[in-house]
Each structure stands twice: as structure tokens, then as C-alpha cells.
């Protein structure tokens, strides 16, 4: 991934997450939040963190179950942002150990 592609991906992520209206409706349906009970691990919390440029640790916690998107009143495409962030981190070799193992096993 070139620096330009990396920059463009970050802009695409920010464009999505900056539209979050912080209503918290997604939090009522997020299985990760139901288990972990920490706001930073909620869809809303992750959107805020990603909007501020921090997403290295949290995007792999999302199960991509789509519950946040299905219940978002503005139809925010958070899964798309999470997938772009994951791809960016993998390309930067910053993915989590479990993800590295999974990728190695797949190969």
C-alpha cells in the first residue's frame, strides 16, 4: 500500500465515522458491548476513536455482525469503516497476533 493509498483509506474511514450522530442506538444491539461493557468497545465509541485517528486496538474487537448498521437511524456504514481500518492495519503489519496466526493458517 502506497502512502497515497494509505492516506486515501484514512480519509474514507474518517468520512464514514465522522457522520455518526452519537445517539447510542447501536449500543443497545452490539454483542461486544454487551459482553465487555466498555464504551470504547461500542460502535459509537469506536466511531469516535476512529474519527480522532485511533483505531489500532479496537477494530479487531468488532464481530462485524452488522447489528449497528441495521439499527442506525442514519444508516451509517460502520462495518465498511471497520473493514477498511482492518485492511489498513494489516497492510501496515499492525494486525493483532490472533489475526496473524489466522492469516498464516489460511496460507
pLDDT in tens, 35-84: 888 877 778 887 887 777 666 767 778 888 999 999 999 999 999 998 99
pTM of the model: 0.78
| End-to-end Cα separation, the chain, in angstroms | 20
Give the whole-angstrom CA distance, residue 16 versus residue 73.
Answer: 14
Residue 36's domain comprises: 3-106
Mean pLDDT of the chain: 83
Block residue for cell numbers 485511533? 54
Here the CATH number for the domain that contains residue 15 is: 1.10.1060.10
Per-residue confidence (pLDDT) for residue 66, from 0 to 100: 93
The tally of domains found in the chain comes to 1
Amino acid at each position: 500500500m502506497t502512502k497515497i493509498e494509505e492516506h486515501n483509506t484514512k480519509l474514507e474511514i474518517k468520512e464514514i465515522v465522522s457522520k455518526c450522530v452519537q445517539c447510542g442506538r447501536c449500543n443497545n444491539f452490539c454483542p461486544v458491548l454487551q459482553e465487555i461493557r466498555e464504551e470504547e468497545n461500542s460502535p459509537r465509541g469506536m466511531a469516535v476513536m476512529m474519527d480522532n485517528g485511533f483505531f489500532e486496538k479496537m477494530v479487531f474487537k468488532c464481530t462485524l455482525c452488522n447489528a449497528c448498521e441495521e439499527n442506525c437511524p442514519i444508516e451509517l456504514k460502520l462495518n465498511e469503516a471497520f473493514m477498511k481500518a482492518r485492511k489498513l492495519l494489516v497492510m501496515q503489519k499492525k494486525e493483532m497476533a490472533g489475526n496473524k496466526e489466522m492469516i498464516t493458517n489460511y496460507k
